[in-house]
A and B are shown apart, each in its own frame.
Chain A
Amino acid sequence: MSGLKSGSVVFEHVRKTFGSFTAIHDLSLTIEPGTLVTLLGPSGCGKTTTLRMLAGLEHPTAGRIFIGGKDVTMLPANERDVSMVFQSYALFPHMTVLENVAYGLESSGLKKAEAREKAEEGLSLVGLAGFGSRLPAELSGGQQQRVAVARALVLEPQVLLLDEPLSNLDARLRRRVRTEIRDLQQRLGFTAVYVTHDQEEALAVSDRIVVMHEGRIAQEGPPRALYETPASSFIADFMGEANVVPCEVVGIEGNEAVVRLGSLEHRVPGRAAQPGPAKLAIRPNAIRLAPADGAGLQGLVRHAAYLGDHVEYEVETEVGTLYVVDPDVDRSLAATTPVAIGLHNRGVAIITA
């Protein structure tokens, strides 16, 4: 399994329409070999369509797709050097685990014995050696998921495609399996395209994240850049929750911008900021609540909810209702308590778009 050939992926002005509905508008994207790139977005944003076009399960209406430098736009799915892990795993219920994993190898023309041998290798790679004679229905969800990964990986594809691979697992298992997938990807060094709608999952596993919105790329970059410098209020809100409030940039000082938020002034890192009205994305945990002191931004607690390790507040202010996460569970503020609003340095970003 060491000889995985990781390939690059290039989308060139790809467009996809279903009847009168345009699923993808003019998508151009390059994925470097050996990286794990996540397509992230709400349902209906076109991320799965993009993945399926890469797999050959849909063909683009216009544009070109290259895998490992080769134009595959017109190639059917079974002639492409990619393989895919499905959301439902799509394990063949009438075949044993080993037969499932060997299926693709046999389809590629390997001898039966050879295919079995490689399939066994693949199973031990995902820690399921000895499970080969079971039927998929006799495995747990997490095990089925690993079979699906093994089945895709034994083909040693240039690109591994993962379509929401964790969505059928419970929350605890999800964390473990995503770590396993990431480990495997880094150990074997294959290129992976990963579709999910869960931003936390995307942040955890990706080298780069491509956020999609209504058939277009909304923003693309490393996880940290997306989280810390969202380009639009959509990104800010989608990549972890954010309060998006109107503000005014009153001055630029080196790499920092001075913004005025109601009666509060705050310094924010902002390279591209221009003086004038703008929007500020504030993470819920970047808001500091203090006893009301009459100066700065004032607010009134509307709702408070105790959630074990933190308290959630809704605070009404002159710039709108803010959603606040406060780790200080000992100081529980009751509804109608007046508070003063302060901001941390981290978790606040100017949105230009």
Chain B
Amino acid sequence: MEQRNRRVDMTLGLGLAGFVLLPWYRIEEGFYAFRWLARFPFGADEAPGLVQMVAEGRWWLAVVAALLLAAAAVRFFSPAGEARGRLLTALGVAGMGFLVLQGFAITFAGWSWTIGEALFGPLSIGQPAMGAGAVVVGLSFLFLFSVGLAEQGVMRGDFFVIAAIALLVALVAVFVFYPVLSMFVGAVQDIDGSFEPSGFLRNIQDPAIWSLDCVVGGARCGVAWRTLWLAVMTATGSTILGLAFALVATRTRFPFKKGLRLLTVLPIITPPFVIGLALILLFGRAGVVTTFLSDLFGIEPGRWLYGLTGIWIAQMLSFTPISFLVLIGVVEGVSPSMEEASQTLRADRARTFWRVSLPLMKPGLANAFLIGFIESMADFGNPLVLGGSHGVLSTEIFFAVVGAQTDPSRAAVLAIILLFFTLSAFLAQRLWLTGKNFATVTGKGDSGIHPALPRALAVGVNALVIPWTIFTLVVYGMILVGGFVNTWGLDNSLTLAHYARAFSVSLQDGSIAWTGVAWDSFWTTMMIALIAAPLTAAVGLLTAYLIVRQRFVGRNMFEFALMMSFAIPGTVIGISYIMAFNMPPLEMTGTALILVACFVFRNMPVGVRGGVAAMSQIDGSLDEASLTLRASSWRTIRRVVLPLLRPAIVAALVYSFVRAITSISAVVFLVSAKYNMATAYIVGLVENGEYGVAIAYSSMLIVVMLVIIAGFQLAVGERRLRRETRIAAPAGVRPLPAESIKEKIA
């Protein structure tokens, strides 16, 4: 009983602190600058809720105060138990509901809906976006709600679990669903926020999106169809190539199998537009190959690379390794005993492959296809670099926002179309492929040897794999060498000028001055990635813990919604974050916070995946034993679950760190002059034609990430040797679990 009262007391204390000790509204120059302390508590902008209510005439905050007081009254006049639980839950819901309602109803200019004015009369003063105080009070209402449920015995009375679920649901609602919803609303709104469907109607019928002219005549098709066509081609191509690679790596005596597997690391460490950049250096108008061919055979340098063909090649290079990684598992998953059975039934190798092995791989192939499809749809970097005037949906969205004439409604419409495509593919993958997996996953008691490939097929896959590998190596070689060449095509002499321009350091007055142009964005990137990585891992693993270990109403929905958020292309996230967080009640554009939030919620599903996989290997009775040994859920997580999950934690940390560095699609919308990210900066360099510096910066990023991943792999490898005897259960120490990359969507 004591502990229950203490919980309520702490929650109420939190609410009180939020209402009295913190500025209620957003501080324009940034909360963490702490300059508001000087004018606290009586500055009009910096005042806490209490002062805002009493002195500034924001009378509606009295409801918040009343709800907190009511909760305090319940705490002191009602004994802990189910009845009090119900009251506290109701107060928590009321508090959260009221905060959301007032946030939307009252903005800078006063009532945002006329019904408010009709009911309460006009307001003398509006309100800016919520600040630290409002957020803390909101949290305290959320905890009040959780305490109430715990006292009613929900989730076996486990406050920590309830609060964690409530918090996660709230976070996902705010950072995933609210933005997407705002985007839908934004599509039918004018710039001033009034309902104006004409922009939406005009755009959704725009022939530039939907035209099918290319089928009937020579003209171009609409951007939607072009994007779809590109995605289908990329998915088909990368699946075939990925399968060829998987077959070579598992079913032939190819001498460099280990090396082939290294390819799978490439997409993780490569910023998405870098391939496109390298292709320009090879095949662009002044590219190495182009000039070589024109010098030798007099072939006129063409612009064929800038368009769907170029994007397609770049995407094939980018996504084949992903498909390869997915399909290795599929090919290895085919039970050898099936193939041996086929051979004992008088089938030769060819018949065995075409009639048994390949059909068994079909669901896996479909999966790889859908992943390739979603990846291609969501890809932003390559089309941006190579698209030219032949854009795809993701780049068109970008240009609708930053282009000459901003048209948010058009951006929203394009984003909705893109979202429709990717979500359809995601749903197909989830619903249609679920339970259609023939592969034997257990790997137990299934001895036997895979038969060799039929001769013709072996020749075929080698003929695909070897040239493609060489091509990939050349492309990556280009990236590494490119930074040292003066101007490709014109002046092929070697130079350090690009690196000097990007990363020069000089000593001024005895201190180091970061004079290179790249340092600014480089350090920002590192800082944001360092902040985002632990948060991503924490949120992801906590979610995994809840999904695996707790049964609660709507758990499947919860998991599904989380995974679905992963199928939202980065461009769509970017545009929706702008639309949602540009004005009250939550205003975050131009801050580091919005970048961190974006990374956390975009990369979290990977942490969830890894955590679910790792946690399923840990006996659930360990947690229960800890609970019966008087440890709270929180202590259980800290002392039992986390230590056993260490490999998964490190993997999630590294993955989210690296992803925060390489991602561009959402970031490009969210960076600001103060917080510029490396990728966005490089894209800017490309747009200015500064290919040398861009490629130098990119190779630097790749090297940094290689060092990080290699260091991490060494650390994990050592740990495994040392602890092998200690932990039998949570094996599967894989630095970057295959699952995570399967789910990776740029």
Q: Given A86-B621, A90-B621, answer yes or no on A137-B726 (Cβ-Cβ < 8 Å).
A: yes
Cβ of B639 within 8 Å of any chain A Cβ, yes or no, is yes
Q: Which of B157, B621, B635, B729 contacts A76 (CB 8 A)?
A: B157
Query: Quick check: B622 and A92 within 8 Å, CB to CB?
Result: yes
Contacts of B3 in A (CB 8 A): 79
Q: Given A79-B3, A83-B629, answer yes or no on A59-B726 (Cβ-Cβ < 8 Å).
A: no
Contacts of A137 in B (CB 8 A): 725-728
Contacts of A84 in B (CB 8 A): 624-625, 628
Q: A100-111: contact bitstring with B at CB < 8 Å (1 yes, 0 no)?
A: 000110011000
Cβ of A78 within 8 Å of any chain B Cβ, yes or no, is yes
Cβ of B156 within 8 Å of any chain A Cβ, yes or no, is yes
Number of interface residues of A (CB under 8 A): 35
Query: Quick check: A77 and B624 within 8 Å, CB to CB?
Result: yes
Q: Given A78-B627, A82-B628, A104-B630, answer yes or no on A88-B156 (Cβ-Cβ < 8 Å).
A: no
* Chain A min CB distance to B730 (Å): 8
Number of interface residues of B (CB under 8 A): 33
State the CA gap A82–B625 with chains docked (Å).
11
Q: Given A76-B158, A78-B630, A103-B631, answer yes or no on A93-B729 (Cβ-Cβ < 8 Å).
A: yes
Cβ of A57 within 8 Å of any chain B Cβ, yes or no, is yes
Cβ of B564 within 8 Å of any chain A Cβ, yes or no, is no
Contacts of A78 in B (CB 8 A): 627-633
Q: Which of B152, B157, B619, B633 contacts A90 (CB 8 A)?
A: B619
Contacts of B633 in A (CB 8 A): 78
Query: In the complex, which of the residues A77, A137, A151 has the most CB atoms of chain B within 10 Å of its own CB atom?
Result: A77
Query: Quick check: B625 and A135 within 8 Å, CB to CB?
Result: no
Q: Which of B151, B158, B621, B643 contacts A88 (CB 8 A)?
A: B621
Query: Quick check: B622 and A56 within 8 Å, CB to CB?
Result: no
Cβ of B591 within 8 Å of any chain A Cβ, yes or no, is no
Cβ of A74 within 8 Å of any chain B Cβ, yes or no, is yes
Q: Given A83-B629, A104-B629, A151-B629, answer yes or no on A58-B156 (Cβ-Cβ < 8 Å).
A: yes
Query: Quick check: B630 and A94 within 8 Å, CB to CB?
Result: no
Cβ of B626 within 8 Å of any chain A Cβ, yes or no, is yes
Query: Quick check: A74 and B635 within 8 Å, CB to CB?
Result: no
Cβ of A155 within 8 Å of any chain B Cβ, yes or no, is yes
Query: Quick check: B156 and A57 within 8 Å, CB to CB?
Result: yes
Query: Quick check: B726 and A93 within 8 Å, CB to CB?
Result: yes
CB nearest to A58 among chain B residues: B156
State the CA gap A82–B461 with chains docked (Å).
63
Contacts of B632 in A (CB 8 A): 78, 107
CB nearest to B621 among chain A residues: A90
Query: Quick check: A103 and B725 within 8 Å, CB to CB?
Result: no
State the CA gap A94–B632 with chains docked (Å).
19
* Chain B min CB distance to A118 (Å): 13
Which residues 688-746 in B have Cβ within 8 Å of A in the complex? 725-729
Cβ of B598 within 8 Å of any chain A Cβ, yes or no, is no
Q: Which of B156, B628, B635, B644 contacts A94 (CB 8 A)?
A: B644
Contacts of A57 in B (CB 8 A): 156, 624, 627-628
Contacts of A107 in B (CB 8 A): 626, 629-632, 635
Cβ of B640 within 8 Å of any chain A Cβ, yes or no, is yes
Query: Quick check: A155 and B629 within 8 Å, CB to CB?
Result: yes
State the CA gap A78–B624 with chains docked (Å).
9
Contacts of B640 in A (CB 8 A): 92
Cβ of A166 within 8 Å of any chain B Cβ, yes or no, is no
Cβ of B359 within 8 Å of any chain A Cβ, yes or no, is no
Query: In the complex, which of the residues B3, B81, B153, B630 has the most CB atoms of chain A within 10 Å of its own CB atom?
Result: B630
State the CA gap A82–B632 with chains docked (Å).
14
Query: Quick check: A90 and B728 within 8 Å, CB to CB?
Result: no
Query: Quick check: B156 and A56 within 8 Å, CB to CB?
Result: yes
* Chain A min CB distance to B147 (Å): 13
Which residues 330-365 in B have Cβ within 8 Å of A in the complex? none
Cβ of A87 within 8 Å of any chain B Cβ, yes or no, is yes
Query: Quick check: B635 and A90 within 8 Å, CB to CB?
Result: no
Cβ of B213 within 8 Å of any chain A Cβ, yes or no, is no
Cβ of B446 within 8 Å of any chain A Cβ, yes or no, is no
* Chain B min CB distance to A93 (Å): 5
Contacts of B728 in A (CB 8 A): 93, 137
Cβ of B117 within 8 Å of any chain A Cβ, yes or no, is no
Contacts of A93 in B (CB 8 A): 644, 726-729
Cβ of A249 within 8 Å of any chain B Cβ, yes or no, is no
* Chain A min CB distance to B630 (Å): 4
Cβ of B206 within 8 Å of any chain A Cβ, yes or no, is no
CB nearest to B150 among chain A residues: A76
Cβ of B82 within 8 Å of any chain A Cβ, yes or no, is yes
Query: Quick check: A59 and B156 within 8 Å, CB to CB?
Result: yes
State the CA gap A135–B722 with chains docked (Å).
14
Q: A147-159: contact bitstring with B at CB < 8 Å (1 yes, 0 no)?
A: 0000110010000
Query: Quick check: A104 and B621 within 8 Å, CB to CB?
Result: no
Query: Quick check: A86 and B625 within 8 Å, CB to CB?
Result: yes
State the CA gap A57–B539 with chains docked (Å).
25
Which residues 173-218 in A have Cβ within 8 Å of B in the complex? none
State the CA gap A59–B157 with chains docked (Å).
9
Cβ of A55 within 8 Å of any chain B Cβ, yes or no, is yes
Cβ of A73 within 8 Å of any chain B Cβ, yes or no, is yes
Q: Given A86-B624, A93-B729, A94-B644, answer yes or no on A103-B619 (Cβ-Cβ < 8 Å).
A: no
Contacts of B643 in A (CB 8 A): 94
Which residues 606-622 in B have Cβ within 8 Å of A in the complex? 619, 621-622
Which residues 287-309 in A have Cβ within 8 Å of B in the complex? none
Query: Quick check: B631 and A104 within 8 Å, CB to CB?
Result: yes
Which residues 498-532 in B have Cβ within 8 Å of A in the complex? none
Q: Given A59-B156, A87-B621, answer yes or no on A94-B726 (Cβ-Cβ < 8 Å).
A: yes
Which residues 6-27 in B have Cβ within 8 Å of A in the complex? none
CB nearest to A77 among chain B residues: B627
Q: Given A77-B156, A94-B643, answer yes or no on A56-B628 (Cβ-Cβ < 8 Å).
A: yes
Q: Which of A79, A104, A135 contacts B726 (CB 8 A)?
A: A135
Cβ of A169 within 8 Å of any chain B Cβ, yes or no, is no
State the CA gap A161–B629 with chains docked (Å).
12
Query: Quick check: A83 and B628 within 8 Å, CB to CB?
Result: yes
State the CA gap A1–B616 with chains docked (Å).
37
Cβ of A75 within 8 Å of any chain B Cβ, yes or no, is yes
State the CA gap A191–B699 with chains docked (Å).
69
Which residues 32-84 in A have Cβ within 8 Å of B in the complex? 55-59, 73-80, 82-84
Query: Quick check: A88 and B619 within 8 Å, CB to CB?
Result: yes
State the CA gap A58–B156 with chains docked (Å).
6
Contacts of A138 in B (CB 8 A): 725
State the CA gap A318–B640 with chains docked (Å).
62
State the CA gap A56–B626 with chains docked (Å).
12
Contacts of A88 in B (CB 8 A): 619, 621
Contacts of A152 in B (CB 8 A): 628-629
Contacts of A77 in B (CB 8 A): 156, 624, 627-628
Interface residues of A (CB under 8 A from B): 55-59, 73-80, 82-84, 86-88, 90-94, 103-104, 107-108, 135, 137-138, 151-152, 155, 161
What are 24 A-B contacts with C-beta separation under 8 Å? Answer: A57-B627, A57-B628, A59-B157, A74-B81, A78-B632, A79-B3, A84-B624, A87-B621, A88-B619, A90-B622, A90-B625, A91-B625, A92-B639, A94-B726, A94-B727, A103-B626, A104-B630, A104-B631, A107-B631, A135-B725, A137-B726, A137-B728, A151-B629, A155-B630
Q: With contacts A82-B628, A152-B628 known, what are 4 further pairs, Cβ within 8 A? A: A56-B156, A57-B627, A88-B621, A107-B630
Interface residues of B (CB under 8 A from A): 3, 81-82, 150-153, 156-158, 619, 621-622, 624-633, 635, 639-640, 643-644, 725-729
* Complex A-B, nearest 4 residue pairs according to Cβ-Cβ distance, in ascending order: A104-B629, A90-B625, A77-B627, A107-B631
